[in-house]
Structure 1
Amino acid sequence: MKTPVSTYRLQIRSGFTLQDAAGLTEYLRKLGVDWVYLSPILTAEEGSDHGYDVTDPSTVDPSRGGADGLAALSKAAREQGLGVLVDIVPNHMGVATPGQNAWWWQLLKEGRGSKYAEAFDVDWDFGGGKIRIPVLGSDDDLDQLQLVNGELHYYDHRFPLAEGTFSDGDSPRDVHARQHYELVGWRRADAELNYRRFFAVNTLAGLRVEVPWVFDESHQEITRWFKEGLADGLRIDHPDGLADPEGYLARLREATGGAYLLVEKILEPGEKLPETFECEGTTGYDALADVDRLFVDPAAEAFLDDLDARLRGEPEAADYHVMIHGTKRRIADGILRSEILRLSRLVPETSALPRLGVADALAEVICWFPIYRTYLPYGQEILEEAIANAAKHRPELASVLEGLRPLLTDTTGELARRFQQTSGMVMAKGVEDTAFFRYTRLGTLTEVGADPTEFAVSTEEFHERMARRQAELPASMTTLSTHDTKRSEDARARISVISESVPEWELFLGTVQELANIPDGPLAALIWQAIAGAWPADRSRLQSYALKAAREAGNSTNWTDPDLDFERHLAAAVDAVFDVPEVEAALDNFVAELEPYGTSNSLSAKLVQLTMPGVPDVYQGTEFRDGSLTDPDNRRPVDFKARMVALEELDAGARPEYTEEEAKLLVVSRALRLRRDRPELFGGYRPLAAEGAAAAHVVAFDRGAENPGALTVATRLPKRLARDGGWRDTVIELPARSRDELTGATYDAGAVELATLLEQYPVALLVPVD
């Protein structure tokens, strides 16, 4: 199997096509990248910037460069010695515009008799033999239907007509009643939808790739890439939505000739991938969580808890586990009620198992899940524990839960299978997309794949986790920023300094809340941290982030019934950053307080991520400092020309001092080149201990197997380090004579003072020399 040493993620879209990516391959090679990593490239909904709404799995999207673009990109990559990793989307298809999706169009036209009735996951009986399509403003809007050129139109929406269902003189309403679909008000989707979808996105309909012919047709183009040598590996989006992830991976491995595979799997702390999964690992959120917490000061936890309690007007800080049970329950009883009710319909109704009681019990079990899903029989003990917790906290459901137990644990049954597909949806929407916007004591902690109750990680614990990673998942991806992170790595690096600056944070928050109040204390903490992390940023970016964050949190406003008065207050607070000099001054002063230490964290976290066990990914543009916030902010165009010029100047040694952006580029390029060009230096993992007054501020490790290899030395908790007097007598023992790849300085084996080693940068990347 061809395995990447590192990857570089590119967002392919109409504004940056596969041909554009081909033109970037020389720069990526010079940067030190081993494989180019592409966002989804199959034909998607017109205008889609992300590509996860595939409408035609048989073609490469013409707007993204088409088949010719993929061929050009692959050829350019080969010429530069790069592999190609492609993101694919097996769980769902885009159905926002039926006319763009031939599979969905035929399904709507022919109904249960369509070939594609087996491809999409529809509960026909619940819909009275029809697919419910929630596009109407309300059910009364049926009067707005029109018949145009043999189609049914609702404003810009077009739908097919079944054969023999239309004749001259028929009203649109009558024709609609004869179709295999029923157009309904959009609010009915929460409880009455009858097709599986991606999370609560009605325009992404679930696919049944467990059906052999569905797999074959939806993967024909993908397998062509491997037969023709165009791609080398795949990233599988949302495998938790599949009926049989294990079987899918086995089939995909065979179809691709044994290619490198990664799954977008969120592993909760302590959770492992099933050993039966045929893949090399995950897309790296678990690594992100470990690295971030190295740079959070554990001493701040009690102080930030106290501040959180005051912001909430409560005697104690928010209890995260109570919170996520509530937010998951809100999702299960709200936007994903349709999915819960579908599960309940699989249970024969009796007096002991009443339909609504079953739905309540199923939702309660899901809300006690500590992970996204089980893969029965793998993880059955977690399911049993969730059932027990549900019965303990809802004793009135105990008898129903006992009746459900054998059905939920029966690996051959439909309820058990669908339950596994559903639990991750509730987890994602209730935790990532709700609780992470409510639990706001420190923004660094609420990233996908992390447990925000784990406040910080000691160097000892970090080393233990890295040793396990090296032993168990050496080819799994590591990352710090993705298209899904809620704050970029550099924004989080700066926000982490708040843990070392609690008095300054309290003063800043109090000042801006007095001058530009956000009338929701926990949300105010989230917004002002994000602004500080992203600064400088333009008004529209911050306004978009603040509105999204507030609606996702769902406390003071929400997506379906927004509180316009609150949102005006929120917008005014963001505007004050630009329009009220006192607010701007307070922000500038606070950012200036954080900035040097945020830069230290940024360089340190990046070097750790690039050199730790695993396959490091660099998200597009983050070789420079990047203060992006949640999508779509993190998918903005990248100025690659500026990065090319900076790398050329860096390699030419034009200046002895580098800007913050150039320093990060230096770290990224030297680490990537070393991993690619000297793989023998990265075969193992051993901690390196420092000694002296500031030893706790060092994280260091040797990546050699038997002999000394690449040595990483990084600074942690830099503000407290400075406050306590710097490195002083702290030394680190070098196992061999070494050269720093960042500065060119050489050091003899033995004890080296950290004040000398880290005089120019807060990090060092050392290689043994003769």
Structure 2
Amino acid sequence: MKRTPTSTYRLQITPAFPLPDAAEVAPYLRQLGASWAYVSPLLAATTGSDHGYDVVDHSRVDPARGGSAGLRAFADAAHGEGLGILVDIVPNHVGVSVPRENPWWWEVLRLGRDAPNAEAFDIDWVHGGGGLTLPILGTQPADAVASGHIVIDPAPAEDAPDGILRYFDHVLPLAPGTAPLRDDLPALLAAQHYDLRHWREQNTELDYRRFFAVSELAAIRVELPDVFDRSHAEIIRWVRDGLVDGIRVDHPDGLADPTAYLERLADATGGVYTVVEKILEPGEPLPPWWRADGTTGYDALTEFDRVLVDPAGIPALAALDARLRAETGLPPAPAWTDLTHDTKRMIADELLQSEVRRLVRTLPHPDPDAADALAEIVACFPVYRSYLPAGEEHLRAAIAEARRRRPDLDAAIGILAPLLADSGTEVAQRFPQLSGAVMAKGVEDTAFYRDTRLGTLTEVGADPSRPPLSPAWFHAAQQARAASWPHSLTTLSTHDTKRSEDVRARLAVLSEVPDRWAAVLDELRALATTGHGPLDALLWQAVVGAWPIPSDRVLAYATKAAREAAERTRWQDPDAAFETGLRALAEAANGAARSVVEGFVDEIVGFGRSNSLSAKLLQLTGPGVPDVYQGTELWDLSLVDPDNRRPVDFAARRELLRRLDEDAARGVLPPIDDSGRAKLLVTSRALRLRRDHPELFGIHRAGEVAGDAAAHAVAVDRGGVTAVATRLPVGLAARGGWCDTVLMRARRPAVDVLTGRRVEGGPVRLAELLADYPVALLREER
């Protein structure tokens, strides 16, 4: 019988926190109540990589992360504590920023398309005229030659028998027989199997598929059986040898055929527990034919967030956004569908233009407007990708919308339509790889930084144009997960979330106090502004949400946010003058604006913590397999990566948990204060109960709350336990609390595992049940 976790705990394995260190954390994870440890990629990655998604060698565990011995030590420690191990793998791409570290890529650079590993990469050799485009130069090639920055070292090396070429930090191999040309540098360059180009040409002339718009990550053709076997041999060995128990598949939408890949993976691993990092648009189902146990949980994340947002405050936040736009000379905010169309079209025309051009080159008789038409269709595509013949309705919708928006392209779109619908054509096979990349870059990494009304609404997998969830809709979503994907991960924070769960929980409070927030924002903008009203709102929300936060972290976030939004400054074309305003705002946060920020945070922090505990309890007790991102068992006020990948102090958490358990044995409850012990209480008690008594979590049934304040509670009956959480705490306080509102219960006594308090059977007053915490977890006595 396949082993399945009841919960997971994500660990970021890095050179600073390698596998031997993770092994020492295993006892703490067991004590916390986690069922499995869930680790980031372990294969050898580019030197200095903290994330591990830039794999350079599939044959070994990264020595910097502890190597094979470290994995064995970690596996022994985890399994010795009764923990399973879920490992993150990266099938779509490899790291090529340091070519010499990647044997496959180095070989292709040296030998070209005749290299034994050339077929492993998705390269359009015909377009490049036989030479692989390398956009690494800071100047045009002729200027690079004239400057003397390209240096030839003809000394043979084991991996470069004909010598190497150096360009600043870049080291490349020379092709066989070309070293004698070193006195004629243009001729030597022309004789290589790579074509050095200015870095900007990655947008237009790149001839190899990559991960999104990252040229340092080259895609591999894992759909080829030999490439699959060679890139997965070590991973399959981990499963075969009992080192790992499950697999998390990174970015399956980048693959040519995710269905076939998952079939092959399941066959090779014996069908171990497998989840996929699939981003679903609201209402979009995970393909039910996939051999997977579910997603990594972004679909659930948006549900936990949105049931805690006050729908009544959204119009006021929209009005604030409109005022900020008018005051700073910006046009009114476009509808979400128009905004995302335009940002996706910008990505297709700019950062991913080379990918669009490659699709055009696959057409049998390309129309002069084919590139324009393809970019328009992909900008109109409503989900990340289709899996033909499934999902053809999305293609039809995109084509119809493209025709509506661009009637001048009707003829070119008409030629493309049957080709894109025919799964046997190359353009149809490649289009889904492009649509997913355009969606990710255009929506997650651009539009989410332009819609700044409320940061809680713009998280991965979310649609900020949709209203917050009512408790009824929330229950319906959980019941659907319980019925269809009971072992899918659920999450609140990941290494890729735009804001941590506790930042979002605090920002959700703004939906209850939109007028107060507008007044505070005016005060803050009077002290420091970028001159762009919506961006000011985004950045001051980050400060308020993550407070206390030093100015260097504010600046890092502000720079990333402004460049991702790509309105006044961009990654490839930063505006130094505009970014001076970002620095001024960051410095003001801990300077001139400090008292304003602190005063407002003092007003909302308690309500934010109520939201945090509610979201955590609903996630940890809800259908699916809850994942706890490292460190978030305490308050975690992190922003987008790399801020959320900062080191975690496990020793401090271990000691806090020990003291918490000792206090609980004496009947002493932790207060809801800065220490985060209240969140640790909720996390540990829910995880332990779920691990030790999974039979209590068999159903999802909406609990019944009666009384005038019923709308402020979410109650869930899981079959043997009942979770109760508070929502909209500002409104609850304003109306005078719970008063006579009651949770309807059968006449069976229960114990609140958070407080140890016994509750008699029958209805219970929420004023009593939630006297200590805004949440309760009742275990029925049988």
TM-score (norm 1): 0.98
**1:515 matches 2:518:** no
Give the one of 751, 756, 760 matched to 2:763.
751
Residue 504 of structure 1: aligned partner: 516
Residue 273 of structure 2: aligned partner: 260
| Partners of 1:380 and 1:737 in 2: CA distance | 53
The equivalences for 1:268-283 within 5 A come to 268-283=281-296
Give the one of 146, 152, 159 matched to 2:151.
146
| Partners of 1:626 and 1:169 in 2: CA distance | 56
| Partners of 1:280 and 1:83 in 2: CA distance | 16
**1:441 matches 2:453:** yes
Could you say what secondary structure the match of 2:123 adopts? coil
Residue 691 of structure 1: aligned partner: 706
The equivalences for 1:112-261 within 5 A come to 112-139=113-140, 140-143=143-146, 144-148=149-153, 149=155, 150-167=163-180, 170-261=183-274
C-alpha contact (below 8 Å) 2:275/2:296 kept by paired residues: yes
**1:320 matches 2:320:** no
C-alpha contact (below 8 Å) 1:305/1:317 kept by paired residues: no
Could you say what secondary structure the match of 1:252 adopts? helix
| Partners of 1:560 and 1:261 in 2: CA distance | 37
Q: Which moved further from structure 2: 390-399 or 676-685?
A: 390-399
Q: Which moved further from structure 2: 513-522 or 333-342?
A: 513-522
| Partners of 1:169 and 1:10 in 2: CA distance | 49
**1:767 matches 2:779:** yes
Could you say what secondary structure the match of 1:23 adopts? helix
How many residues of Structure 1 are paired with residues of Structure 2 in the alignment?
A: 760
Q: Which moved further from structure 2: 362-371 or 647-656?
A: 647-656
- What amino acid is aligned across from residue 597 of structure 1 in structure 2? F
- What amino acid is aligned across from residue 764 of structure 1 in structure 2? A
Residue 740 of structure 1: aligned partner: 752
For residues 504-541 of structure 1, the C-alpha deviation after alignment (integer angstroms, 9 at most, x for no partner) is: 10111000101112211111110000110100011211
Residue 681 of structure 1: aligned partner: 696
**1:58 matches 2:59:** yes
Residue 587 of structure 1: aligned partner: 597
Could you say what secondary structure the match of 1:118 adopts? helix
Could you say what secondary structure the match of 2:121 adopts? coil
| Partners of 1:327 and 1:413 in 2: CA distance | 28
In structure 1, stretches of 5+ residues that fail to align are none
**1:346 matches 2:346:** no
Shift of 1:577: 1.6
Shift of 1:162: 1.1
Could you say what secondary structure the match of 2:203 adopts? helix
**1:394 matches 2:399:** no
C-alpha contact (below 8 Å) 2:493/2:629 kept by paired residues: yes
C-alpha contact (below 8 Å) 2:7/2:35 kept by paired residues: yes
Residue 613 of structure 1: aligned partner: 623
C-alpha contact (below 8 Å) 1:130/1:182 kept by paired residues: yes
Q: Which moved further from structure 2: 164-173 or 253-262?
A: 164-173
| Partners of 2:709 and 2:494 in 1: CA distance | 33
Shift of 1:435: 0.5
Could you say what secondary structure the match of 1:307 adopts? helix
- What amino acid is aligned across from residue 325 of structure 1 in structure 2? H
| Partners of 1:10 and 1:205 in 2: CA distance | 26
Shift of 1:271: 0.4
Give the one of 411, 414, 439 matched to 1:427.
439
Give the one of 721, 738, 747 matched to 1:710.
721
Could you say what secondary structure the match of 1:364 adopts? helix
Could you say what secondary structure the match of 2:73 adopts? helix
Could you say what secondary structure the match of 2:493 adopts? coil
Q: Which moved further from structure 2: 710-719 or 659-668?
A: 659-668
Shift of 1:316: 4.8
Determine what percentage of the aligned residue pairs are the same residue.
55
Shift of 1:400: 1.2
Residue 734 of structure 2: aligned partner: 723
Give the one of 606, 609, 627 matched to 2:637.
627
Shift of 1:259: 0.6
C-alpha contact (below 8 Å) 1:309/1:318 kept by paired residues: no
Could you say what secondary structure the match of 1:528 adopts? helix
Residue 159 of structure 2: aligned partner: none
- What amino acid is aligned across from residue 561 of structure 1 in structure 2? D
Residue 160 of structure 2: aligned partner: none
Mark the CA change 1:471 to 1:154 in structure 2 (over 3 Å): closer, same or farther. same
| Partners of 1:145 and 1:349 in 2: CA distance | 40
Mark the CA change 1:733 to 1:248 in structure 2 (over 3 Å): closer, same or farther. same
For residues 645-698 of structure 1, the C-alpha deviation after alignment (integer angstroms, 9 at most, x for no partner) is: 000001001644434300000000000000000111001110002010100000
| Partners of 2:376 and 2:285 in 1: CA distance | 24
- What amino acid is aligned across from residue 271 of structure 1 in structure 2? E
Shift of 1:703: 0.7
Mark the CA change 1:168 to 1:316 in structure 2 (over 3 Å): closer, same or farther. closer
C-alpha contact (below 8 Å) 1:145/1:173 kept by paired residues: no
C-alpha contact (below 8 Å) 1:306/1:317 kept by paired residues: no
C-alpha contact (below 8 Å) 2:316/2:515 kept by paired residues: no
Residue 577 of structure 1: aligned partner: 589
| Partners of 1:503 and 1:169 in 2: CA distance | 70
In structure 2, stretches of 5+ residues that fail to align are 156-162
Shift of 1:165: 1.2
Shift of 1:562: 1.0
Mark the CA change 1:399 to 1:168 in structure 2 (over 3 Å): closer, same or farther. closer
Moved segments of 4+, more than 6 Å: none
C-alpha contact (below 8 Å) 2:455/2:538 kept by paired residues: yes
Could you say what secondary structure the match of 2:247 adopts? strand
C-alpha contact (below 8 Å) 1:93/1:206 kept by paired residues: yes
Provide the aligned C-alpha RMSD in A: 1.1
- What amino acid is aligned across from residue 137 of structure 1 in structure 2? G
- What amino acid is aligned across from residue 354 of structure 2 in structure 1? S
Shift of 1:168: 6.6
TM-score (norm 2): 0.96
| Partners of 2:404 and 2:555 in 1: CA distance | 44
C-alpha contact (below 8 Å) 2:670/2:677 kept by paired residues: no
The equivalences for 1:332-371 within 5 A come to 332-349=348-365, 353-354=367-368, 357-371=369-383
| Partners of 1:302 and 1:36 in 2: CA distance | 42
Mark the CA change 1:266 to 1:457 in structure 2 (over 3 Å): closer, same or farther. same
Could you say what secondary structure the match of 2:744 adopts? strand
C-alpha contact (below 8 Å) 2:543/2:589 kept by paired residues: no
| Partners of 2:499 and 2:331 in 1: CA distance | 29
C-alpha contact (below 8 Å) 1:152/1:176 kept by paired residues: no
